[in-house]
Structure 1
Amino acid sequence: MLRIAWLALVWLLAAAPFGAGAQSRQAAEAEFRQWLETRVWPDASRQGVSRATFEAATGGVVLDWSLPDLVPPGATPSPPQVNWQAEFSSPISYFAEDRIKPLESIGRGLIRQWASTLAQIEARYGVPKEIVVAIWGRESAFGRAAIPKPAIRTLATKAFMATRKDMFYPELIAALKIVQDGHIAVSDMKSSVAGALGQPQFLPSKYLAYAVDFDGDGRRDIWRSVPDTLASIANYLRQHGWQPGVHWGVEAIVPDAVPCALEGPDKRYPVSEWQRVGTTRIDGSPLPGAAGEPRHLLMPAGRFGPAFIVSGNFYVLKTYNESDLYALFIGHLADRLVADSRIHGRWATSAGLKRGDVRAMQERMIAMGYDVGAADGLVGFRTRTAIGLWQQRNGRAQTCWPDESLVKTLR
């Protein structure tokens, strides 16, 4: 009797509305099956997907209700849930030793293990082995992280009823094309909860554009083949503009007289100009690179953290993940895979601020005509440079980073 009662409760929950105005799950599943047949199948067919492949990939697929950011049919999308009361923190936690050290230790061993393959990849694509291995480690812990989701089910659910379903729909079609091409069986095609595939965590469209068969078995297998995984990462970077022989960047001593508002990809100056104003490597030696080569300033915590002089390759790393901290993490980890390298500059800890405080400051700066990127409570390079410009125009010392006094002034 208890089991019958439990099953009845499960059925009622499954049939109950999912949020205000939403259909029952049962009705949503029926609409999902119809959507697969009347919309997805015609589009997939036009892209060269056979009926046999389509049925093998989607037959029996049901919605994955455990995924985040779902808006079932008939439901009103909820605004993004952001904890604006969360503590605003320094980037220091991103570079904690307990995050980097294990990747460094394992990565060094893998560089030795795959030395021949990595040498061939570097010769073909011009991307250093340590950069490739650093991304491999950051994305999937060198293939050891669980990639648990069936990709087709995940992408179909996201394309049908995610908050950004229009973004996921072409990725679903691309995933069906991957199956059609025979590179991976549907049962082996695993993804993250966001539909990113395999060890490099490529979305399906990126897989079609950049994944390569480096082990010569006729398949581009970024799930199980280490050579295919590593070569695909290198090919991605090269196709996005990686310049062979140019290091991503170095930690630097930047004199106080150099405005921190000079940071960013849209501001570049030759190595000779950085040297002329007294900028050096952290050990005081000259900056690397020819005198006329362009370089950029990077200050991820403004004057409250270390400074770096970076090349265009740093911004190529950002195409993999649009985050200064991600790209810096990859560059720093890559350096540590081949040498005893540390970040020497001190990261000051942020105190007394909430993310909502920073957003309010950003909104005020937007109203004043400053380009902060977005009022999201996060401090990217546009917000940092906007703060520096405001400080300069108001006779304050340039820090390019919010503190409690600044936020109060600009609220």
Structure 2
Amino acid sequence: MLYRVFCGLVIMLAQPAVADTAQSVFNNYQDALIQVQVIENQTQRKSAIGSGFYVSDDLLITNYHVIAEKIQSEQQYQLMANLGDDNKQQLQIIAVDVINDLALLRTPQKQNRQFTLASNLPAQGEQVFSLGNPHDLGMVVVPGTFNGMKQQSFYPRLHVTGSINPGMSGGPSVNSNSEVIGVNVATAGNQIGFVVPVAQVNALLAGANSTAPEIDTLKQQILQQLLTNQQQMLSPMLSEQWQMQPLGKGLVPADIAPFVQCWGHATELEQNNGIDTATASCGQSEQIYLNSGLTTGKLEMQFEWLDGKDLSPLKFNHHYQNRISYSGADNRAGKHDVTGFNCHSDIVAMAGKASRVIFCVRAYKEYPQLFDALYLAATVADGQQGFISHFTLAGVTQENATAFARKFMEAVVWQS
């Protein structure tokens, strides 16, 4: 039995005033918290668990990734609200926001106690409380500190302190007045937690219909969300000038978007089989969860400069070919979710140097118009020197994949 859960929070020791406030939050709102269960129909066992909370007498908020398998395989799973004392009620999916990892559910069990959504975020440094069901152990409250919006992120996230453990996905984080500031979603470990802001919850509620749509309708909504998201992410990168910097004799991006971070590394000759290398990589720290086999919404780039002037051409070329073969898609995708890659290869003159260029795309089976793209360019070795550039884009249109590849080819070149 697989328990697939993303985040959770555990109770921490706190100062007496903090403990009193946490106890008050728990006592007042424990009835407005539930455990969301994804039940596999054949075994009648839990396949995934998360947390949820009432925002009206019959509507709940949770994370999309908690209930994703129901959308992916409708007939295989059912969604249940565990209300305690062996009281389990079937849940309906009313709306989803896959970009912000949110889902709105309806339960037949009406609840008088509901959470209020905050009109403003706390000041940085103010105390907050995160609620949920860690490790299937029961509902808890965790004190923490609000640290503002996560920096260098395309997808809006609040940064809070607190030990985050499996089972808390979809639970609320609240201010000292017990008003929801966001929804627990993920952790980076070491007391670093991330929360979807309350503004995204309000947007989901505002756009939701009163009745539960068919799963196929939800999939169409997800497709439109993904198409809009990839356009918003790529448009500035395609229209603006990239800042470039040297890597060996190659030119590589230094800054193409605020949410794309870059790192570099170099090795000495004796550390790398007689070849001096310098590498750089750029990418996003987040991606979009579609199901257990498919993530999307991410850009990744890698670059490597190799200098083996003291090696024979045969030995250098052998190592060069090995390095080229390491490139692959960066996102998780299974054969049930995507087609195989369709690739085109050619020798292209780039800034006066001949380069072997490979460009591949694979289609999403459930979400037409979306593709993963893979690009690899290897400048033909020149005097035991080589330059490899690579990118992958996950969940983009063919038009945007081609436009990005064209801009990448023009910018990332061997300098004369």
Relative to the length of structure 1, the TM-score reads 0.25
Q: Normalized per residue, which structure has more helix?
A: 1
Q: Normalized per residue, which structure has more strand?
A: 2
Structure with larger RCO (C-alpha < 8 A, sep 6+): 1
